[in-house]
Amino acid sequence: MGTRTILAVVSGTQDVLALQAALLEAPFPGQQDVLAAAETVMVRAESPAAARRIGQALLELDLMAPAEQAGGLVVIDTVYDGEDLAEVGQLTGLGADGVVAAHTGQVWTVAFAGFAPGFGYMVGENQALEVPRRSSPRTAVPAGSVALAGNYSAVYPRKSPGGWQLIGRTGAKMWDLDRSEPALASPGHRVQFRAVRDVVRLAGQDSQQDDSTPAASRQTVPETTSGLRVLSAGIHSLIQDLGRQGHSALGVSAAGALDRASLRRANRLVGNAPSAAAIETVSGGLRLQAVGDQVLAVAGAPSALTVVTPSASPSETDTDATEPGDAEARQRTVPAAAPFALLDGEILTIGVPDAGFRSYVAVRGGVDAPPVLGSRSTDTMSGIGPEPLAANQLLPAGGAAESGVVGSPEIQPDYPGEDVTLLDIILGPRADWFDQAAIDSLCAQDWTIKPESNRVGMRLQGTPLERSRTGELPSEGTVAGAIQMPPEGLPVLFLADHPITGGYPVIGVVVDHQLDLAAQVPIGGSIRFRIAPEPAAPAGSSEETSHEQTPERKASN
């Protein structure tokens, strides 16, 4: 599954649990994460070489039945008025009332977690409610929706895209990081659904957020004597680091900067640790004011960087003071990919990129946001981490500097412009769901990035591909770079905030060291896929390999 991930296909739930238990009890060298699903176990490795070694070792592994999990019973009050209840009644032949009776009349067991934090795949005691997913997923499923797909039932912990059949809703908090056990129902727990006329939601509970972010991260950042004030957040600006690894079993993706090389470069230039938190912003428009003297660097999409030095420091609440045209203000430009001083009261403005899409602003010491599960990154899919930046927000500078000196200016790679961006892929793990004509079409045409794209995934427009196989694919793990194919035949290229499991076949995966390049293709830009030559990556290469080391970037129109 790409260059750093192995997907082990086994015969059923017992083998899934046995393999998962074996990998957790005795991890292979280089093993980073393990994710169990319906009929597969996904193993993430630290490098392509480690992935190849793990793949060979898995073939020789003897599986033994794991110890039985004795989880407690969780009762979930549910109002059965879902949009798909009548259709599920027709699909099963039970009618709406029969669906409710079958759903509440059995005990469900959480077999594994996935898709999003708090989303547990529950297996029932019978197959009476087996139904397919929707042919086209909804772009937004309300938080608390009780749903069915295949042999599973689940509750959506927050508003998110989804293709399951909706039969009801609940006010239960499925995920809350302020609890000692964030997931209300984790693998091994038994669940009983109870029909009620109405649900009770605790005062202050936000259906959009559902407490995915702990209270400490949702509070307004306190006043600080050193850091940055956001005067304008631009189109979309987030705090990102290198992500939170190893939490797939909780349904939590890694998230983190989409262009990892640019984040590392910006941090390196100001003397920070590579994983220090910085600002990721798209398409320019970000305006920042120094609170105290700061050292900054901007890497990524090349943009005009303008610094305005006011004649007098504006008040802390005057967000419109000292525009570049003010008569008494002094203006200068600073280079990209080089450290520079932003003195107390000075304002940095990032212009619209000449090429590329995402820029990264590092401040010496790093952005001091509250960490969640070991990372300060914002996960837009799950809602974990700091909120998107907003005007007048204060960002304290922390203690992430690891060098006493700043770095020397660096040369940045070429970024996507008007030409078509070429991305190498590894076919599979579900390329056998498509015939050769569909695979040829995938690689022969230019795909346009649709406006609906975001950090979860790039939605692509082109000539649809047809599957050669019908039926449903049991949910299995996915990775950043996976090219998922919904029934409509238009690919979705997963990025860092992707759901960790999915039920649509993945025809191929972009090689890991080109994901930074993919992240810089703007909305409306074009990409073309190419089957990667062998070997896909140098033996022993690590996740730090990036597009700055890849000589071939683009295919001309």
pLDDT at 549 over 90: no
Average pLDDT of the segment spanning 391-402: 88
Is the C-alpha dihedral spanning 14, 16, 21, 26 positive or negative? positive
Q: How far apart are CA 505 and CA 1, in angstroms?
A: 12
Q: How does 227-240 read in b/e, with b if 16+ C-beta sit within 10 Å?
A: bbbbbbbbebbbbb
112 or 170, higher pLDDT? 170
Q: How confident is the prediction for the chain on average, in pLDDT?
A: 87
Q: How far apart are CA 118 and CA 499, in angstroms?
A: 12
Distances (CA, A) of 180 to 175, 183, 191, 202: 11, 9, 19, 18
* Banded model confidence at residue 369, pLDDT cuts 50, 70, 90: very high
Q: pTM of this prediction?
A: 0.82
* Banded model confidence at residue 163, pLDDT cuts 50, 70, 90: confident
Number of residues assigned to the chain? 557
Query: Would you state the pLDDT for residue 153?
Result: 96
Instruction: Give tens-digit pLDDT for 101-138.
Output: 999 999 998 888 877 788 998 989 998 999 998 877 88
Query: Would you state the pLDDT for residue 95?
Result: 97
* Banded model confidence at residue 161, pLDDT cuts 50, 70, 90: confident
Residues paired with residue 342 on neighbouring β-strands, in sequence order: 294
Instruction: Give tens-digit pLDDT for 192-247.
Output: 999 999 876 654 444 444 455 555 444 444 556 799 999 999 999 999 999 998 88
C-beta separation of 123 from 71 below 8 A: no
pLDDT at 437 over 70: yes
pLDDT at 548 over 80: no
Instruction: Give tens-digit pLDDT for 307-327.
Output: 999 875 444 444 454 454 454
Query: Would you state the pLDDT for residue 74?
Result: 95
Query: Would you state the pLDDT for residue 388?
Result: 97
Residues paired with residue 146 on neighbouring β-strands, in sequence order: 155, 168
Instruction: Give tens-digit pLDDT for 492-520.
Output: 999 999 988 888 999 999 999 999 999 99
C-beta separation of 6 from 55 below 8 A: yes
Average pLDDT of the segment spanning 550-556: 40
In 275-345, where does DSSP find H-type helix?
none
Average pLDDT of the segment spanning 42-53: 95
Query: Would you state the pLDDT for residue 162?
Result: 86
221 or 491, higher pLDDT? 491
447-449 and 457-461 as β-strands: parallel, antiparallel, unpaired? antiparallel
Q: Which residues contact 101 (CB under 8 A, 6 or more apart)?
A: 94
Query: Would you state the pLDDT for residue 251?
Result: 81
Q: Which of 260, 351, 355 is closest to 301 using CA atoms?
A: 355
460 or 34, higher pLDDT? 460
* Banded model confidence at residue 443, pLDDT cuts 50, 70, 90: very high
DSSP state of 186: -
Q: Among all chains, which residue has been given the structure tokens 């937004």?
A: 140
* Banded model confidence at residue 150, pLDDT cuts 50, 70, 90: confident
At position 232, the amino acid (one-letter code) is S
Integer-rounded Cα Rg, in Å, for the chain is 24
Q: Which of 393, 377, 396 is closest to 385 using CA atoms?
A: 377
CA contacts within 13 A on the Cβ side of 421: 29
Instruction: Give tens-digit pLDDT for 529-542.
Output: 999 987 544 444 44
434 or 109, higher pLDDT? 434
The string of DSSP codes covering 452-520 is T--SSEEEEESSPP--S--S-PPPEE--TTEEE--TT---EEE-TT--SEESS-EEEEE-GGGHHHHHT
Query: Would you state the pLDDT for residue 454?
Result: 95
